[in-house]
A and B are shown apart, each in its own frame.
Chain A
C-alpha cells in the first residue's frame, strides 16, 4: 500500500470544501507571502519606475525618459557582452559541475572505503561555506603569476608559469575553474541526496542482476535522480547569475572587462557611473531572463508539481 500523497485523494476532496476549508491553506501561507510582498514588492516597482527615468545621481533630479534606458542597454555593447559572458559561464560550468558532481555522488554511494567516504562527505560543504569574497582573494593569492602557489605546483610537473590573471582569456578560465571548484561539491551533495532515495530493495536486485555499472545507473538510479538534477540545475543557474562577490574580488571584472558578468556590469553602472536609470533597466532585463530560464527548466524537467 503506497503512502504516496499523489496516490490518495487528499482528505479535503472527500466532501466539497467549505469556505473555511478553502481558506485553510492560506492560513499557513499568508505570513510568508505578506512578508515577502512587504520587503520585495516595493523595490521591484521602484526599479521598474527608475528604469523609465533618466537619472544620474548627483547630476540633477530624475526626469522621465521612456524606454531610452532599455534602448541604451540593448545597443550598448557593454551590457550585451556581459550577458553573453554570464551565459557562457553557465553553459560551461553547469555540465561540468553536474558530471563531476554525479561522479562524486556515485563514488560516495558504494560500500568501500568507509573512512574516506565519510571524510569527503563532511568536506563537501566546505567550499560554499567559505565566504565568496575570501575565495576571490585566495584566488588572487594562489594564481598570481610570479608569487602564487598554483604555478609553483604546476612547475613540479613541468608546466611553465602561466599568466592566469593577466590576459583576458586565461582570467576568464580562472573564473571558470574557481566557479567549478566552489559549486561542484554542493551539486554532489544534492545528487548524493537524490541517489539515496533509490529504494534499497530495487537497488539490491539490480546489483544481483548485473555487475556492470552503466545499465544499473541508467535504468534504476537515474530515474530517481531527475528531480534532484533539475533542482541542481535551477540552483546552479541562479547562483551563477547572482555570483558577484567572488568574481569581483578576483579582479573587479578585469583585465579590461574580460571577467565582467551581467551583475557586475550593472553594479558598475549603478555605483561607479551612478547611472541609476540605466542600471535599473538592465536589472529588469536580468530579472526577466532569470524568470524565463526558471520557467523553462521547470517545464522541461520538473515533473513533481502536477
Chain B
C-alpha cells in the first residue's frame, strides 16, 4: 500500500514538474490578479506619454487596471516620500531618479527585485537583465541588490545648429571643451546680432547641480566625493579647474543664463539664437519637430582634459513595499512588461528612450532616431553611474551644491572661495545627518553586470 501511494506521488510530482515546464505567458501569470488596480507614478515627458498610450495593451492582456499619476519632476520625490512616511499606499509602482535609490531602499520602502525574479510564476524568462546597459543596472543597485528596472533613460548630448556652424567655417562639432571655447565660440557669438555660441541651463535646483555643476567637474577629474577617505572633494584642484573653465564660458552665453531652465535654453536653440547646447537626450523629439529641420546636429558631449564624461540621468521603476502582496505582484508584472525587450521598439518609436542594448543598437532603429547612436556611445564609454552621488541625504546635499553653484556662476563669490564654502557646508551636513552611513557606490556594482 505504502509503496503504491509513494509511486503515485512520484508520478504526480513528475507531472507537476512537466506542467511547470511549459512557456511562461503574461496572461497566465496575471490571471490571479485580474481586476486589481495599480497606481503608477509618471512624469509629463515623452517616454511616459507613449507608455500611457500603450498601457491599454497591458490592461487587455492581463485584466489589471493601470492608473497613471503624472507629477512635475520637482515634486515627485516629495509626493513619493510623503506617501511612504504616512503609509498611505497611494502609489504602487514607484518612479526613482538615479539619485534616489538610497532614499527608497535604505528605509526599506521598496523591494529588491530578486523577490520577483526568483519567482517562477512572475518572472518572464525573456526578461534578460543582461540586455540592459550595465551602467543602468548599476545605478539602481544598492548593497548589491537590484531594486529598479530602468525606464526613461537619458544621456547628455551636444545639440548643434549645422548651418550656424557652417557659416562660421565649421563642418563638424567640437570634440573637446577646450576646442569649443577657444576655436568655436569666438566665431559663433555675436552679441550685437543677439546670437550666442553656447547656452548652459543653470536654473536653481537640480538643474544647477546636475546640468551646470556636475558637467564641469568630471571631465576635469573633479569629483563630488572621495569614497575612500570619506571626504568632500568639490574644492580639490581638479574640481576648481573645471568650475573655473565654466566661468570663462559665461562671456559667450546670453545674459540671465543663470536663471534659465531647460525650457528656455531649448527654446533659444530652437529659435536659432544659440548655436550649441548640451542638453538631455529627451529633448530630441522636441527639437526634431521644430523649425530647425535638417540643421539639427547631434553628437556626444565634448571631452574634457581628463576624459569624456557626459551627463547621466534617468529613471527606473520600483515596487513599493508598503502595499499588499497582490498589488506587489501585479505591479511587478506591469513594470516587467513596460521595460521588456518586446516593448522597447514600440516605446522608442513613440519617442521614449529605453536602456535596452538590443533595441538601441539595432541599426534600423538607429537610422530612424539619430539620437540613439551618441547615447549608446555615451552609456558604454563616457559616463558614470554616480554622476551625482547616491546618498540618503541627497535632496539637501543637492540643494547646497545648487545654492553655491548658482552664486559662483552669478559672480557673487570667487570660484575657490565659493567651492570652499560649498565643501564646508557639505561636510557639515554629511556629518550632522549621519549621511556617511547612507551612501552607495554604484561604480562598485558595475563589475557584476559587465
Residues of A at the B interface (CB closer than 8 Å) are 56-60, 144-147, 163-168, 171, 251-257, 268, 271-275
Residue pair A167, B410 in contact (C-beta under 8 Å):
yes
| Distance A272 CA – B392 CA, assembled complex (angstroms) | 13
Contact of A273 with B403 at beta-carbon distance under 8 Å, contacts A147-B271, A167-B256, A255-B204 already known = no
Residue pair B204, A58 in contact (C-beta under 8 Å):
no
Residue pair B254, A255 in contact (C-beta under 8 Å):
no
Residue pair B259, A273 in contact (C-beta under 8 Å):
no
Partner among B82, B204, B256, B435 whose Cβ is within 8 Å of the Cβ of A253:
B204
Residue pair B392, A59 in contact (C-beta under 8 Å):
yes
Chain A residues in 8 Å Cβ range of B85? 57-58
| Candidate in B74, B257, B260, B403 with the most chain A CB atoms within 10 angstroms | B260
- A139 smallest CB distance to B (angstroms): 12
> CB of B78 within 8 A of chain A?
yes
| Distance A147 CA – B263 CA, assembled complex (angstroms) | 13
| Distance A253 CA – B402 CA, assembled complex (angstroms) | 12
> CB of B213 within 8 A of chain A?
no
| Distance A251 CA – B208 CA, assembled complex (angstroms) | 13
Residue pair A272, B399 in contact (C-beta under 8 Å):
yes
18 pairs from A and B in contact (CB 8 Å cutoff): A56-B393, A58-B85, A58-B107, A59-B392, A59-B393, A59-B435, A144-B264, A167-B256, A252-B74, A254-B204, A254-B406, A255-B204, A255-B258, A255-B410, A256-B258, A256-B406, A273-B395, A273-B399
Enumerate the 10 nearest inter-chain pairs by beta-carbon distance, A residue then B residue, closest first.
A166-B256, A254-B204, A273-B396, A256-B406, A163-B256, A271-B78, A255-B259, A163-B255, A255-B258, A165-B259
| Distance A26 CA – B395 CA, assembled complex (angstroms) | 49
- A250 smallest CB distance to B (angstroms): 9
- B61 smallest CB distance to A (angstroms): 36
Given contact pairs A57-B81, A59-B393, A168-B410, enumerate 5 new A-B contacts (beta carbons under 8 Å). Answer: A59-B392, A144-B264, A147-B271, A257-B403, A275-B396
Residue pair A255, B406 in contact (C-beta under 8 Å):
yes
| Distance A274 CA – B257 CA, assembled complex (angstroms) | 29
The interface residues of chain B, by DSSP majority, are classed as helix
Give the size range of B's interface with the partner: 35 or more
Beta-carbon nearest neighbor of A171 in chain B: B259
Beta-carbon nearest neighbor of A257 in chain B: B403
> CB of B26 within 8 A of chain A?
no
Beta-carbon nearest neighbor of B273 in chain A: A146
Residue pair A166, B392 in contact (C-beta under 8 Å):
no
| Distance A57 CA – B395 CA, assembled complex (angstroms) | 11
Partner among B109, B205, B403, B438 whose Cβ is within 8 Å of the Cβ of A59:
B438
Partner among B254, B392, B396, B407 whose Cβ is within 8 Å of the Cβ of A256:
B407
Query: Could you mark each residue 188-209 of chain B with 1 if its beta carbon is under 8 Å from any beta carbon of chain A, else 0?
Result: 0000001000000001110000
Residue pair A274, B258 in contact (C-beta under 8 Å):
no
Residue pair A251, B395 in contact (C-beta under 8 Å):
no
Residue pair B103, A166 in contact (C-beta under 8 Å):
no
Beta-carbon nearest neighbor of B109 in chain A: A58
Contact of A252 with B410 at beta-carbon distance under 8 Å, contacts A58-B103, A146-B273 already known = no
- B277 smallest CB distance to A (angstroms): 15
| Distance A146 CA – B407 CA, assembled complex (angstroms) | 23
> CB of B84 within 8 A of chain A?
yes
Residue pair B268, A146 in contact (C-beta under 8 Å):
yes
Beta-carbon nearest neighbor of A248 in chain B: B74
Contact of A251 with B204 at beta-carbon distance under 8 Å, contacts A59-B393, A256-B410, A272-B395 already known = yes
Contact of A145 with B254 at beta-carbon distance under 8 Å, contacts A252-B205, A256-B204 already known = yes
- A54 smallest CB distance to B (angstroms): 9
| Distance A251 CA – B406 CA, assembled complex (angstroms) | 13
- B223 smallest CB distance to A (angstroms): 23
Residue pair B203, A145 in contact (C-beta under 8 Å):
no
Chain A residues in 8 Å Cβ range of B103? 58
Q: Which of B24-47 contact A (CB under 8 A)?
A: none
Q: Which of B305-326 contact A (CB under 8 A)?
A: none
> CB of B434 within 8 A of chain A?
yes
- B398 smallest CB distance to A (angstroms): 8
| Candidate in A145, A165, A274 with the most chain B CB atoms within 10 angstroms | A274
